[in-house]
């Protein structure tokens, strides 16, 4: 089964949560409009991104650990969140610092432990949002201009750095810097720059290819959360 690349509603789930100080209810609001024409880009950058996409598309499922550091404008505040993402096709399950996000390819549930509340929305694969599945395929070919910035050493890893600029300049993020592990052809991390000055720095590690994932993992089970408040946004 094919797994798509853009770390739907997960990144949309990210941003709106952070900006509202309710981290990751619907996280990193990243609504880039997909245009019909492919963006023109650096051939070297495209080749690297294509290799990442090709590798992940061969997997039936994937697990990865990640961390996100949010630095406010003028370094006003810094937040660090760690989590794990499980993917199987367009289905995903994310755990992140008191929040859990479920998607079974039909419905998205965003559960917040502190308030014991779950928000329910419909999953739309055609919606122009940044999703866990998109974070691992060729979304870049129509949503961004991409440029190869060069090679860097991060810890013990050699990474290729690619800058993505949204084709729609009215969007919330001005650019994204991706770091691609040269040895493994996987996303190692990057930075997202928001117009209001916020910077999201993320790292991805601990990739586990083809873990056995039961489909029940991607569905919110209210019975496991007594007295949970359900907010249906559909």
pLDDT digits (tens, 9 = 90+) for 178-228: 899 999 888 888 888 888 888 888 888 888 999 999 999 999 999 999 999
Looking at domain 9-227, what is its CATH homologous superfamily?
Answer: Lipoprotein localisation LolA/LolB/LppX (2.50.20.10)
Comparing CA positions, the residue from 217, 215, 218, 220 lying closest to residue 230 is 220
Please report, in angstroms and rounded to a whole number, the separation of the first and last CA atoms in the chain.
28
Least confident of 27-31, 77-81, 127-131, 212-216: 27-31
Q: What is the pTM of this model?
A: 0.73
Chain centroid to CA 4: how far? Answer: 11
Q: What is the pLDDT of residue 212?
A: 96
Residue 9 has, within 13 A of its CA and on its CB side, a CA count of 27
Q: What is the pLDDT of residue 155?
A: 83
* Dist. CA 14–CA 6, nearest whole Å: 14
Q: What is the pLDDT of residue 10?
A: 40
Spans of all domains in the chain: 9-227
User: What number of other Cβ atoms are within 10 A of residue 140's Cβ?
Assistant: 25
Which residues have C-beta within 8 Å of that of residue 82, sequence separation ≥ 6?
65, 66, 67, 68, 96, 97
């Amino acid at each position: 089964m094919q797994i798509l690349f853009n770390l739907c509603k997960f990144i949309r789930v990210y941003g709106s949560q952070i900006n509202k100080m309710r981290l990751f209810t619907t996280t990193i609001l990243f609504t880039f409009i997909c245009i019909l024409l492919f963006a023109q880009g650096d051939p070297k950058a495209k080749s690297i991104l294509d290799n990442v996409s090709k590798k992940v598309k061969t997997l039936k499922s994937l697990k990865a650990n990640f961390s996100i550091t949010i630095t406010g404008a003028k370094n006003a505040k810094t937040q660090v969140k760690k989590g794990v993402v499980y993917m199987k096709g367009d289905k995903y399950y994310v755990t992140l610092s008191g929040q859990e996000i479920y998607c079974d390819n039909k419905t998205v549930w965003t559960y917040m432990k502190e308030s014991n509340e779950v928000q329910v929305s419909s999953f739309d694969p055609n919606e122009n949002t940044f999703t866990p599945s998109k974070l691992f395929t060729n979304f870049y070919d129509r949503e961004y201009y991409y440029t190869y910035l060069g090679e860097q050493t991060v810890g013990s890893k050699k990474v290729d750095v690619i800058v993505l600029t949204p084709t729609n300049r009215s969007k919330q993020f001005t650019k994204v810097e991706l770091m691609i592990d040269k040895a493994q052809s996987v996303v190692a991390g990057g930075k997202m720059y928001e117009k209001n000055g916020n910077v999201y720095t993320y790292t991805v590690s601990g990739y586990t290819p083809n873990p056995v994932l039961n489909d029940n993992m991607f569905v919110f089970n209210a019975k496991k959360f007594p007295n949970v408040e359900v907010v249906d946004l559909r």
